[in-house]
Amino acid sequence: MDGKRLLHPRELQKRAAALAALLGHTDFALGCEPRHDGSAHLEIGEAYDWVVTERGQELERRRTTDPDELLYWFLCGLTSSMASDHEVRQRRSGEDPRRQLFAKEVALLEKLSPGWAARRRREQAETLARYPFADR
């Protein structure tokens, strides 16, 4: 893509695990094989491919040569899952669940990278521009 030398999967895993550990996850792994359960896995060729498969179907594929971009995609998946778990435990009647979920995602990403948190905040704002909060 842009001629960058790609990192070895072990180095990517080391970086991902160190970041996940900051969030209390000591067993985070970048999967390199599809599990076909809606989770993402890593494929490396001329670039990094972040691939989501479910039931034998490829649902999404993103490509980059930037290891930080790849790590952002994987760690956003982790923080989204953590934020969802938090929201379910702290659910507030009548409140759009995305209020807590979005805030928790950003708070978790802030622990990893202020730039990632700002980026996620912008992405959330784009979503909310199309689909505003709907409190009941």
Tens-digit pLDDT profile for residues 71-98: 999 999 999 999 999 999 999 999 999 9
Q: Averaged over 4-11, what is the pLDDT?
A: 89
Q: Averaged over 28-53, what is the pLDDT?
A: 95
Three-class DSSP category at 95:
coil
User: From residue 13, how far is each of 19, 21, 28 by CA, in Å?
Assistant: 10, 12, 9
Please give the model's pTM, rounded to 2 decimal places. 0.93
The phi and psi torsions of 8 (rounded to 5 degrees) equal -65, 145
Q: Are 38 and 52 in contact (CB under 8 A)?
A: yes
